[in-house]
Amino acid sequence: MDLSRELRAVSDNPRLDAELLLGHVLRIDRSALRARPERVLGAQERSEFRRLLERRKRREPVAYLLGSAGFMDFELEVNPAVLIPRPETELLVELAFATLAAQQGKPLRIADLGTGSGAIAIALARHDPTWSVLGIEVSEEALAVAHRNAAALAGGNLRFRRGSWCDGLPPESFDLIVANPPYIAPGDPALHPDCAWEPSIALFAGAEGLKAIREIATQARRCLKPGGRLLLEHGFDQRGQVTELLAAAGYRDIESFKDHAGHDRFVRAFICGTSSR
């Protein structure tokens, strides 16, 4: 039986989707599934698999159907309260590691703004237990997911608080602020149909898609220590605008970095003065 046939109209990789869903139903991984292609499903298994197929045919993301998504070297709980972590964002984490490589083992303070599922914050906290990582999230539902993920995956150097970007954070207190904020304009024709299931607050940011980045640039400058750095993910066509608004906000040494597809996707900026300058 071709398990992927029904998903061809809605999936870029229907075979993978079908195997993941069937493995979820059978409580086995894909390698075990392929090792036993002759296995016959029981009535309850057929019913559960059919239910998942129908949901996927409505473009509900596979990660939500499974209740989990891989990120870096761990699995995160995800549900429609949080954005599904993207492979590109792993590069943002790796850029953070590289940025702080010379200071590894030192008690640095790092903030992850708009933490969502906690993916970035957890990766940073796991990388170096001497780093104190704070995840900020405005959504109470998303924050509950982040707390559960941290309890399963991270240690005592990670904590969360509810808030909008840097509101309420003390001045000049962080060595690094990192964020994968919403950066899409409503009605963007490049938006994948599956994204309709994800929280709009994590995707859309004003008419140009820059509202969140503009707010973060202004607020983070106050919260970074002199010599601190800001790392941001942005849209593939926003490099020029993001660079300009960071420069206007007083950042220096602004650098751009590419994603796996060769698109400008990340920016790193340095703050050399204090919040009063």
Same domain, 97 and 188: yes
Bridge partners of 269, per DSSP, are 230
Distance of CA 142 to the CA centre of its chain: 12
Question: In this structure, is residue 265 part of a structural domain?
Answer: yes
Instruction: Give the DSSP per-residue string, 53-93.
Output: HHHHHTT--HHHHHTEEEETTEEEE--TTSPPPPHHHHHHH
pLDDT for position 277: 33
Over residues 180-209, the pLDDT tens digits come to 999 999 999 889 999 999 999 999 999 999
Number of domains in the chain: 2
- Cβ neighbourhood burial of 66 (10 Å; 0-12, 13-18, 19+): middle
Q: Which range marks the domain in which residue 86 is found?
A: 80-270
Cα 90 from Cα 96, distance rounded (Å):
10
Same domain, 42 and 169: no
- Helical pair 211-223 and 239-248, crossing angle rounded to 10 deg: 40
**Tell me, what amino acid is at 41?**
L
Answer for the pair 69, 84: CB distance below 8 angstroms, yes or no. yes
The CA–CA distances, whole Å, from 225 to 151, 155, 245, 246, 272 equal 29, 25, 20, 16, 8
Rounded to the nearest integer, the mean pLDDT of the chain is 95
- Cβ neighbourhood burial of 74 (10 Å; 0-12, 13-18, 19+): middle
Question: In this structure, is residue 243 part of a structural domain?
Answer: yes
- How many residues would you count in the chain? 277
Same domain, 144 and 18: no
At 142, list the tokens: 């998303």
Question: In this structure, is residue 73 part of a structural domain?
Answer: no
CATH code, domain carrying 90: 3.40.50.150
Tell me the pTM: 0.94
Over residues 111-166, the pLDDT tens digits come to 999 999 999 999 999 999 999 999 999 999 999 999 999 999 999 999 999 999 99
Over residues 76-98, the pLDDT tens digits come to 999 999 999 999 999 999 999 99
